[in-house]
């Protein structure tokens, strides 16, 4: 599953020698260009150049159908070649091949934005997408083994619609069962030293925290996890 393919997603796949042809699902969380611009290119790969009806597209209302000032971001032509297209709202749960995905809450510019909780045989993986810290996130992600959190700013430098490091700390410490690993994602230009920020969050939560990097590969295993950088 390809999640939120922003500008250059297909180029990065090529750089990392990851074949886009292997992709069979697309998830787009909300209708902002840093999350959707390469979406149609990914659909082209899923459908083998629009020659096969194949794959699943999951997104929020704005992304799939458009709403108000937000226009749908995957053309009806591209949607027509997918086996399944589904709008998800927070709390919706659907089967995704051999896993299950549940849409989670956000508070962001797109009023229908969603994150997700992916259920696997080895435990759950959470993705916050872009959001402020809201109470619903605690229940949405309590008990996930790995949480991918879009943390834009450091320490307490909070901006509307996004998480800062202190928000992530508050979220983790509010959970009855903390994740084993937090991956910092979607870091902003003012996040000048992500590694130092990861250590700050780790010291204040007691869990392992790593910043996402190009080529970061994380494997969730039975009882543990491992990660490495691929080139």
Specify if 103 maps to a domain: no
User: Of 48, 70, 89, at which residue does a domain stop?
Assistant: 89
Q: Are residues 158 and 206 in the same domain?
A: yes
pLDDT above 90 covers a percentage of the chain that reads 100
- State whether 143 and 214 are in the same domain: yes
Please tell me whether residues 139 and 202 are part of one structural domain. yes
Residues 80 and 35 grouped into a single domain: yes
Q: Are residues 134 and 227 part of one domain?
A: yes
Q: What is the 3-state secondary structure (H, E, C) of the chain?
A: CEECCCCCHHHHHHHCCCCHHHCCEEEECCCCHHHHCCHHHHHHHHCCCCCCCCCEEEECHHHHCCECCECCCCCHHHHCCCCEEEECCCCCEEEECCEEEEEECCCCCCCCCCEEEEEECCEEEEECCCCCCCCHHHHHHCCCCEEEEEEEECCCCCCCCCEEHHHHHHHHHCCCCCCCEEEEECCCCCCCCHHHHHHHHHHHHCCEEEECCCCEEEEECCCCEEEEECC
The domain in which residue 136 lies consists of 122-231
Q: Is the pTM of this model over 0.95?
A: yes
Determine the average pLDDT of the residues in 51-72.
98
Q: How confident is the model at residue 231 (pLDDT cuts 50, 70, 90)?
A: confident
Is residue 154 situated within a structural domain? Answer: yes
Residue 39 lies in a domain: yes
Residues 143 and 215 in one domain: yes
pLDDT digits (tens, 9 = 90+) for 112-147: 999 999 999 999 999 999 999 999 999 999 999 999
State whether 164 and 220 are in the same domain. yes
Q: What is the pLDDT of residues 62-101, one digit of tens each?
A: 999 999 999 999 999 999 999 999 999 999 999 999 999 9
Q: Please say which residue of 89, 113, 142 terminates a domain.
A: 89
Residue 188 banded pLDDT, cuts 50, 70, 90? very high
Check which CATH number belongs to the domain holding 179 and give it: 3.60.15.10
Residue 20 lies in a domain: yes
Looking at the domain assignment, is residue 97 inside a domain? no
pLDDT at position 60 is: 99
User: Is residue 106 assigned to a domain?
Assistant: no
Q: Are residues 163 and 230 in the same domain?
A: yes
* The predicted structure's pLDDT at residue 41: 98
- pLDDT digit string, tens, across residues 202-217: 999 999 999 999 999 9
Give a yes or no: residue 98 inside a domain: no
Same domain, 63 and 14: yes
Number of folded domains in the chain?
2
């Amino acid at each position: 599953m390809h999640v939120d393919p922003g500008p250059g997603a297909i180029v990065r796949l090529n750089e990392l020698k990851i074949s886009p042809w292997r992709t069979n699902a697309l998830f787009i969380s909300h209708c902002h260009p840093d999350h959707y611009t390469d979406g149609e290119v990914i659909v082209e790969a899923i459908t083998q150049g629009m020659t096969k009806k194949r794959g699943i597209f999951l997104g929020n209302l704005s992304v799939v159908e458009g709403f108000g000032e937000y226009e749908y971001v995957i053309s009806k032509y591209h949607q027509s070649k997918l086996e399944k297209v589904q709008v998800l709202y927070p709390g919706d749960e659907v089967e995704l091949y051999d896993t299950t995905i549940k849409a989670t809450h956000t508070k962001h510019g797109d009023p229908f934005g969603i994150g997700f909780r992916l259920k696997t045989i080895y435990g759950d993986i959470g993705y916050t997408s872009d959001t402020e810290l809201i109470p619903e996130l605690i229940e949405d992600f309590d008990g996930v083994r790995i949480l991918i959190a879009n943390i834009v700013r450091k320490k307490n430098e909070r901006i509307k619609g996004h998480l800062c490091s202190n928000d992530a700390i508050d979220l983790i410490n509010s959970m009855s069962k903390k994740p084993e690993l937090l991956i910092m994602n979607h870091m902003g230009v003012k996040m000048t030293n992500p590694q130092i920020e990861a250590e700050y969050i780790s010291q204040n939560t007691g869990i392992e925290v790593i910043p996402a990097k190009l080529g970061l590969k994380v494997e969730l295993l039975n009882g543990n996890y491992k990660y490495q950088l691929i080139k």
